[in-house]
Each structure stands twice: as C-alpha cells, then as structure tokens.
Amino acid sequence: MTLSGVKIIELPKILDPRGNLSFIEEHNHIPFKIERTYWIYDVPGGQKRGGHAFKEQQELVVALSGSFDVIIHDGKAEKRFHLNRSYVGLYIPNGLWRQMDNFSTNSVVLVLSSTVFDEADYIRDYNQFIKEANP
C-alpha cells in the first residue's frame, strides 16, 4: 500500500451550545467494518507509540482529546499528520509503517480497527517492513 491510500476523514459534527457531538458509522464514514476499538492515554511527555506495520489491519485514528502526530511510511516515502480535532479521523490502510509522537498533555488516541487483536498481524521489524515493501 502507498501513502496515497491514507486519508483525512472529516466526521459529522453537530454543533450545539451545550457541547458538540460527532459520530462514526462503519461503511458510511469509514471503509471497513469495526471489529475493535482501543484507546491510548496517559502518554508521558516525549514518548512514542506505534512503530510497526499491520499486514491486514486497517484503522481510523482520532485525536479525541489533545493532539499528536502520526507518521506514515510506505517503504519509500513518509508523511507526518498532526491530529488535533476530535471530529477528524486519519484513515490508515494496511501495509504501512506508522508511529505516533509529539503527544500533548492529556491527549487521547482513539483507534477503530478492522480486525481483532492478533500479534501475528504486526510487522515490528523496520528492516523487514522496508524489505517487504520494496520486493
């Protein structure tokens, strides 16, 4: 998969003086069925998360609170996305290396995943990823 498959998806936003509301419907706003949701929180300053690729997992990453960067590498080029809105998701297809850094205080990363957790779906060795991405 190449970087061109990565997309910023603007989610519905119901503006309300009582507080705003956003939502996500599988197949309607994102191109996969949601099999799992997880979130990352209490990230100490300066830490990095991710740093792997998925063979099958597609995902949507949302900065529910605060902000952070997602760096995507397709084996040839990389792109950095700054997420800081709770109504914006970053769609990441399978087969791409992704890392997250630059976390603000109290940031919360919401990840909607197309697969259940399976360690065998991870490529954690960067050199192996680069080799497989450039056959």
Under the binding rule (CB under 6 A), the answer on residue 38 touching ligand TYD is yes
Residues in contact with ligand TYD, shown as a per-residue x/- string from 65 to 104 under the rule CB under 6 A: ----------------------------------------
Q: Single out the segment in contact with ligand TYD by CB under 6 A; choices: 15-23, 45-53, 79-87, 125-133.
A: 45-53
Indicate the length of the chain as a whole number: 135
Q: Which of 117, 118, 128, 131 binds ligand TYD (CB under 6 A)?
A: 117
Say how far apart CA 45 and CA 106 lie, in whole Å.
10
Tokens representing residue 126 in the block? 């960067």
SS3 100: strand
Are 103 and 45 in contact, with CB atoms under 8 Å apart? yes
Q: Which residues are catalytic?
A: 52
